Structure 1
Amino acid sequence: MTYRDDVVRVENKRAGTDAWRSGSGGLRDSDDERIQVQGYASTTSVAPGEVIDFHVTVDVPQSVTISIYRLGWYDGQGGRLVYTNPPLACQVHPVPPADPLTGTIECRWPPILRLRVPADWVSGLYVATFTSQSGTRGCTPFVVRDDRNPAELCVVLPFSTYQAYNQWPKDGRRGKSLYYGFPSPGAPIDPDARAFQVSFDRPYSDRGWPKQFDRDHDFVQWVEQRGYDVTYASTVDLHTGRIDPGRYAGLVFCGHDEYWSAEMVRAADQAVQRGVSLAFLAANNVYWRIRLEPSTDGRENRIVTCYKTAPDPTAGVDGLGATMRWRDLGGQGEHAEQRLLGVQYNGIVAAPSPLVVRNADHWFWERCRVTDGLELPRLVGGEADGYDPAMPAPVGVNSTILSASPYRLRNGTVHEQNTHLYETPGGALVFDAGTLHWTLALNRRGFRNQKIQIATRNLFDRIVRQKSSGR
């Protein structure tokens, strides 16, 4: 398929660098014990012409240099330097105490830099690095949106899930995520000490690289290497309605996208109804229902709320009930993620297992040279999805199971992983990879799998073709 020579392809012809990588230039990574240099951004996404603030702290007063890289292919370098400022004076800012009721750690550090994003910055996944005078570096990611131009595919980065897993500061004393906390200094990490609300107004742990962010960067490198016409957004943009799905052939959720608000689910449902395709390239998506709430100073969508199994004191504030698993809302599982995805999360994979091909004659597997029962090694890993006949499934659609892969849980129980695809009468395709190893197979050294690369191109090409043909 021929793709128009869009700005992303032109961008990737520019000279890249690997200076964004951990340890480059002999710099040491910051850690949560000393917090040598760490920071956060004022927003998960920003458009050219808008302002983004960076809030940084250091362990002793010193100067800090902020460099910003756009992540992409760049002939395998993985990033391009787009901005560096002169050294800025930086002060020590404390780690605030956790809220005693919600566990929220919300930094109110002043900005060290206010940056108006230049008009020529191409939409993409960016990372700001903070390099201290003493030779230590931290970083934080953000997205540059393009609110002006349509694209074939919009890649939505899972910032709500990044924050849910963020344990900052993971120092054995203070840090809290939506999973764990420290009940007392020096005590083992404990789910009973977890937070119920987490804030975007804090760094990501250690060097600032969110958990599983590498998998997303693998996809970004691959999709830009292949020359697809892509633009980028964050899950907060999906929540707020800044994403107009009708401008794209499909929305691509490349990462582990576990934490979804009602507004996000509604936007995805409406996209499918409009004939816009969805591609989920991981597993355990749309699992926990969240609310996005204002910071204590009133800035919208800076707090991720999810009480999970604990009583939610504000249940029903949006008419849906508690912040718990989507599948547990209502009486008959009517909100289960399978209703949208076609399959749903069914377990943690004890050890990487083969993905076993099914329906090999489907167009998805065209040119892959596969047969039913063929095993693609190590592709089922991390977490897995599968079809659950007890849960609601999409109705009035053409569904296909593309893999049927047995795998073991940590307790030895055998479950089945399913890669799944369905097509609506309006021409929308909804794909669920059903494994966290899919994007590794696209780009990760030692994991690349040509058959998965071809199959993913088949999927994206069909998504683009069906939109352009008006289906």
Structure 2
Amino acid sequence: MPVPGAVDTTAILGYALPLTVSPGEEVRFHLSSPAIARAEAAVARVRCADPDPDGPGLKLVFPGTPIDGVVPLREQPLYPGSCAIVPDAPALAALSGFTAGAFLWPTAPGLDYAGTIAQTVLARWCEETKRGWRLGLDAEGRPEFVVADGTGSWRAVSPHPLLEREWVLLGGSWDPAAREVRITVRSLDPQSGRDRSATVAAPGPAALSWPADTVLTMAGHAAAAGPSPRVIGLYDGKLDRPRLYAAPLPPDALHRLCEALRPDAGDPLLLAAWDLSEGMDTDRVRDRSANRLDGTLLQMPARAMTGANWDGSTRGWTEAPWQYGAIHFHRDDMADAGWEPDLRLTVPADWRPGFYALRLRARTEGAEPVESFVAFFVRAPVGRPSARLAFVASTATFLAYANSALRLDQVHAEAMLEGLIALSPDDVYLQSHRELGLSTYDTHNDGSGWKVSTAARPILNMRPRGATFNYGNDTHVLDWLEHFGETYDIVTDEDIDRHGVGVLRPYACVITGSHPEYVSRPMLDAFDAYQRGGGRHIYLGGNGFYWRIAFHPERPHAMEVRRGMIGLRTWEGEAGEDSLAFTGEPSGTWRTNGRPPQRLVGVGFDAQVFTASAPYRWLDGARDPALAWLTEGIDLDAPLGEFGLRGGGAAGIEVDRVEPTLGSPPGLVWLATADRLGYGGVPVPEESRTLHRGMMGDQNARVRADLVFFTTAGGGAVFSTGSIAYACALTCKDYENNVSRLTRNVLRRFLDPSPL
């Protein structure tokens, strides 16, 4: 029986590409449904995406488009898992005795995770015909080498399963003269007390008839023949310096071949020597042999990972790329759903910039009504603003949190959130449909962290009716602007990253929303230049400008973060893997990169407060007669924001504070503070510089949300609220409240061109 009033938000899924478009450009909608054959489609401008009945509610405006109406649907499957594919070539099809080998660092060998699924490391194998060769692990995690041609199958297997996260040399060879197949395993840990090294020979064929039109694969094998097969038998772990040699090699010779960074390309028996340290920011795998058997990576596995030869002398791959010749593959990587588009829309020339979404509705007898959304963003053409005010859509942060399963996956989630977790239908769906790909807060099935997130897949928490955090919270600011008739443009993080300060400079004022947490170096440089050049910045959030990220230089709407070993994080990267593969820059927090948020917006992240939100109390700075314009119409004897949709106050969830030692400007005016946040205020790890008895009392004295104002060069200025909850207090009491009044005062003055 359907639940009265409930809506099914997952029966139809989709994504839009490009994620951000200008009028006159085309956006494509890629849709899928396993059970619904058709739906009513309509494009909406999103004013408020949060259906919370205590707030403004879901507010959508339908301008009418040529694609509104019935749309047929089909199921488009998802095939997660990263791998590399090398196109078939004569050199691969003419083997008569050979050796395949690589260094291997498995992260899920054997029954603990893989169950009955074998994992392939290197192969030219067609599962459909059971022909070819494959080097990998069997279902118990034991190394195996198999050759077969349809008339017979020959296999050599090591007696011991591999250990998790231990580097080994893995090799397989076929010797037709000796009628033998051989598997070689060598531990690379000189101190291992459980050395699983072994060389095992088994009977083999004198001749083989290889399959035709079959690709060579890394980290999986082809399900069928052809140039673009589905890849199965996926491998979890690192792969470093894979090699293919046209003769059977003894173990020592194989070891030397794999150790060589650049094997002799003139050796006629060298079929392939792939260098995975080349092209870190690409999806290409380069072969250094004369055959040039280059390959393509699918689903964006993690690059710039420490290889078997990493010696700890560097933490950044750009300093010694030859020590970062490993790729970490995961069977659950998902970067591109690969769905065909079902609808195409050319954005009309007269559309206002904003948050937009394709709404899809259907009703099935006896089931809940279906209402699903696919989000996208419309911006003014770059360099041609249509308003004096811009709102920054924090698309990097939206991607970082995309499809977060954190609330169920983290053991201590309820303790962190200080209460029972209410699960949405989207939360439940994600638990059984992890093929959508998770967020950079989650871990892969092998326990390693997600480093890359893209928009080329359905994202459940970046759309109307989705999770209120981030996307939903930000639309409260949009609704507030619309209520007071303010016209604004939309600028996205990726626009700023690609085009720099030129995107921001045309605007008298720029607003960043509730949680602009993820920021690239070009973005931070652009905001800094904008403020120094006379721009005015209103930061209406908390935990902003915190993590250093990079957008992919070639692939749109793809971002990368490395958590490192500092900052508020849900996983840690491996030692030495701090630098971003996309750019070679260090990742981590901006504080550890020498540019704390306080230097840009006066305040920086200091604590999480999930128990309850609180009001601010005014400080002496707010009573400065020179700032009468800021507090006009506000009772400074009453608390600021003693209400709110997130925790009952304007200061909470994640909060920022003033800290002169981290760069809060000396001319900053400290207007108000919320420093009575209670026991639920948990300081971030970087606030714990030492451990001692009673330290929590010392730290909690610094747990607060600070509201500040300061001027910058050229008549510029910054107003910061230091709280995620602030944005969701704007619309309370029918928009007539002191948070709303204060923010209106600031916005009105920031849009006034007269000097501050």
- The answer to whether TM tops 0.5 is yes
Contact 1:62 1:133 in 2 (8 A): no
Equivalent residue number for residue 549 of structure 2: 290
Equivalent residue number for residue 51 of structure 1: 26
Structure 1 unaligned blocks of 5 or more: 1-22, 185-191
**Helix, strand or coil at the partner of 1:279:** strand
Equivalent residue number for residue 141 of structure 1: 375
Aligned length: 422
1:170 aligns to 2:425 (yes or no): no
Contact 2:552 2:558 in 1 (8 A): yes
Equivalent residue number for residue 233 of structure 1: 491
Distance, in Å, in 2 between the alignment partners of 1:43 and 1:69 is 17
Equivalent residue number for residue 20 of structure 1: none
Change (3 A) 1:313 1:424: same
Contact 1:62 1:132 in 2 (8 A): no
Distance, in Å, in 1 between the alignment partners of 2:57 and 2:371 is 23
Change (3 A) 1:302 1:360: closer
**Helix, strand or coil at the partner of 2:730:** helix
Change (3 A) 1:324 1:105: same
TM-score by length of 2: 0.52
What letter is aligned with 2:633? R
Cα deviations by residue, 1:63-112 (Å, 9 ceiling, x for unpaired): 23321111238x98722112352322222122332445446412111111
Q: 2:602 aligns with which of 323, 338, 342?
A: 342
Q: Which protein is bigger by CA-based radius of gyration?
A: 2
1:469 aligns to 2:754 (yes or no): yes
What letter is aligned with 1:351? A
Change (3 A) 1:29 1:248: same
What letter is aligned with 1:437? A
**Helix, strand or coil at the partner of 2:719:** strand
Distance, in Å, in 1 between the alignment partners of 2:399 and 2:589 is 17
Equivalent residue number for residue 196 of structure 1: 451
What letter is aligned with 1:81? F
Q: 1:119 aligns with which of 349, 358, 365?
A: 349
The alpha-carbon deviation at position 451 of structure 1 amounts to 1.0
What letter is aligned with 2:661? A
Change (3 A) 1:46 1:27: farther
Equivalent residue number for residue 13 of structure 1: none
Equivalent residue number for residue 351 of structure 1: 612
Change (3 A) 1:230 1:56: same
1:66 aligns to 2:41 (yes or no): yes
Contact 1:158 1:255 in 2 (8 A): no
Matches within 5 A, 1:265-344: 265-293=524-552, 300-309=555-564, 310-311=573-574, 313=577, 315=579, 321-329=585-593, 334-344=594-604
Equivalent residue number for residue 385 of structure 1: 656
The alpha-carbon deviation at position 126 of structure 1 amounts to 1.2
Change (3 A) 1:144 1:376: closer
Matches within 5 A, 1:425-440: 425-440=713-728
1:366 aligns to 2:602 (yes or no): no
1:94 aligns to 2:94 (yes or no): no
Stretch moving more, 222-231 or 240-249? 240-249
Contact 1:27 1:136 in 2 (8 A): no
The alpha-carbon deviation at position 450 of structure 1 amounts to 1.2
Distance, in Å, in 1 between the alignment partners of 2:582 and 2:70 is 46
Distance, in Å, in 1 between the alignment partners of 2:539 and 2:556 is 23
Cα deviations by residue, 1:162-182 (Å, 9 ceiling, x for unpaired): 111112662256242111136
The alpha-carbon deviation at position 462 of structure 1 amounts to 1.2
What letter is aligned with 1:469? S
Distance, in Å, in 2 between the alignment partners of 1:49 and 1:287 is 35
Distance, in Å, in 2 between the alignment partners of 1:248 and 1:56 is 36
The alpha-carbon deviation at position 260 of structure 1 amounts to 0.6
Distance, in Å, in 2 between the alignment partners of 1:114 and 1:183 is 35
Distance, in Å, in 1 between the alignment partners of 2:349 and 2:747 is 29
Contact 2:462 2:471 in 1 (8 A): no
1:400 aligns to 2:669 (yes or no): yes
1:181 aligns to 2:447 (yes or no): no
Equivalent residue number for residue 742 of structure 2: 455
The alpha-carbon deviation at position 337 of structure 1 amounts to 1.4
Equivalent residue number for residue 214 of structure 1: 472
Identity of aligned residues (%): 23
RMSD: 2.9
Distance, in Å, in 1 between the alignment partners of 2:8 and 2:583 is 44
**Helix, strand or coil at the partner of 1:457:** helix
Distance, in Å, in 2 between the alignment partners of 1:459 and 1:384 is 20
Equivalent residue number for residue 11 of structure 1: none
TM-score by length of 1: 0.82
Contact 1:286 1:326 in 2 (8 A): yes
Contact 2:616 2:640 in 1 (8 A): yes
What letter is aligned with 1:119? A
**Helix, strand or coil at the partner of 2:579:** coil
Q: 1:246 aligns with which of 499, 502, 505?
A: 505
Change (3 A) 1:263 1:301: farther
Change (3 A) 1:96 1:133: farther
1:258 aligns to 2:487 (yes or no): no
The alpha-carbon deviation at position 389 of structure 1 amounts to 3.4
What letter is aligned with 1:170? L
The alpha-carbon deviation at position 27 of structure 1 amounts to 7.5
Contact 2:537 2:717 in 1 (8 A): yes
Distance, in Å, in 2 between the alignment partners of 1:127 and 1:319 is 32
Contact 1:150 1:248 in 2 (8 A): no
Equivalent residue number for residue 151 of structure 1: 387
What letter is aligned with 2:439? S
Equivalent residue number for residue 223 of structure 1: 481
Cα deviations by residue, 1:375-408 (Å, 9 ceiling, x for unpaired): 642221111000123312346xx31111122123
What letter is aligned with 2:334? I
**Helix, strand or coil at the partner of 1:422:** strand
